[in-house]
A and B are shown apart, each in its own frame.
Chain A
Amino acid sequence: MKSIGMTQTTQFDPNGLKFKVFNPRKHQLPKINFRQTNGEDPLSVQEYYENYIFNGKSDTDEVKYVIKYFDNWIGFFSIDLTRLHTKQSELIPQYKVKGKKEGFYQGPTCALLIKKIGIDQNYRCYGIGKYIMLFCSGLVQTINKDKLIKLVIFKTTRSLAEKIYFPKYQFSFTGTSGKLVWAFKRIC
């Protein structure tokens, strides 16, 4: 007997996905459950959705995309350009002082930060995360003519990084301990 998960996966049509820049005056999304199946929200996705998309506030710098699958709203993500530094760079002088080079810091790395990703609980297991990664990686390549943006990066749970983002989509991730990690992948 076929499992429901298998049936759902084989019936999913990625051509039905639509990615739209969120416009609070035009897009009225329903209440959607973005929590984990255990009810937890370790990345504050539900909170972000309710504050900035469901309630229509749009007072953040990042670009928000909302996702439809045919006629149903099924998720969102928000992206921003960011600079990655090492914490040490706050302490190390970056320039020569009185002719002496007191420290070396190669400078920040520019990256596309996916700040939040939310997928409706009812649409998990369709591989929609992969399509979001493809969309973001494609987008950033098209705006990266000077090759200054090096990475796509996002914070996720260690569990998702280990079970999905690394084995399925080859996203590396940081650290060996802790519940949350940075997942990243080069774009040039």
Chain B
Amino acid sequence: MSKLFTPHSDIFLECDEYHQISEYLNDKINPKEEEFLTEAIAFYEKHRHDSDDSI
């Protein structure tokens, strides 16, 4: 898990791909996205076994 606190890789996107993502990030978050993110936290908390490597 601690591996996830540091970026290990770089992805070089085509300019149009990068700009598409930048524009998307500049848009305001919509209610459906907010709902997904809220559902995601609840799901993760219920299913997290990040320190559990048992069988």
Residues of A within 8 A of B (CB): 17-23, 26-27, 61-63, 79-90, 106, 108-110, 112-113, 131, 133-143, 150-151, 153, 169-170, 172, 174-175, 182, 184-188
Q: How large is the interface on B (under 10, 10 to 19, 20 to 34, 35 or more residues)?
A: 35 or more
Q: Which of B7-35 contact A (CB under 8 A)?
A: 7-22, 24-25, 29, 32-33
Give A30 Cβ to nearest chain B Cβ, in Å. Answer: 13
Give A158 Cβ to nearest chain B Cβ, in Å. Answer: 13
21 contacts between A and B (CB under 8 A): A19-B48, A20-B49, A20-B53, A22-B53, A62-B3, A63-B4, A80-B9, A81-B5, A81-B9, A84-B10, A86-B13, A90-B12, A109-B21, A134-B44, A135-B43, A138-B48, A139-B50, A142-B44, A143-B5, A169-B36, A186-B25
Given contacts A80-B3, A82-B11, A134-B43, A21 and B33 within 8 Å (CB-CB):
no
Given contacts A21-B1, A63-B4, A137 and B50 within 8 Å (CB-CB):
no
The 9 closest A-B pairs by CB, nearest first: A138-B44, A137-B40, A86-B18, A23-B53, A138-B40, A134-B43, A61-B8, A174-B17, A81-B7
- Please state if A85 and B4 are interface contacts (CB–CB under 8 Å): no
Give A23 Cβ to nearest chain B Cβ, in Å. Answer: 4
Closest chain A residue, CB of each to CB of B35: A170
Closest chain A residue, CB of each to CB of B21: A184
- Please state if B16 and A170 are interface contacts (CB–CB under 8 Å): no
Given contacts A19-B48, A27-B53, A139-B44, A84 and B3 within 8 Å (CB-CB):
no
Which residues on the B side are within 8 Å of A133 (C-beta)?
A: 40
Give A91 Cβ to nearest chain B Cβ, in Å. Answer: 10
Give A104 Cβ to nearest chain B Cβ, in Å. Answer: 12
B34-54 interface code vs A (CB 8 A; 1 in, 0 out): 001101111111011111111
Closest chain B residue, CB of each to CB of A79: B4
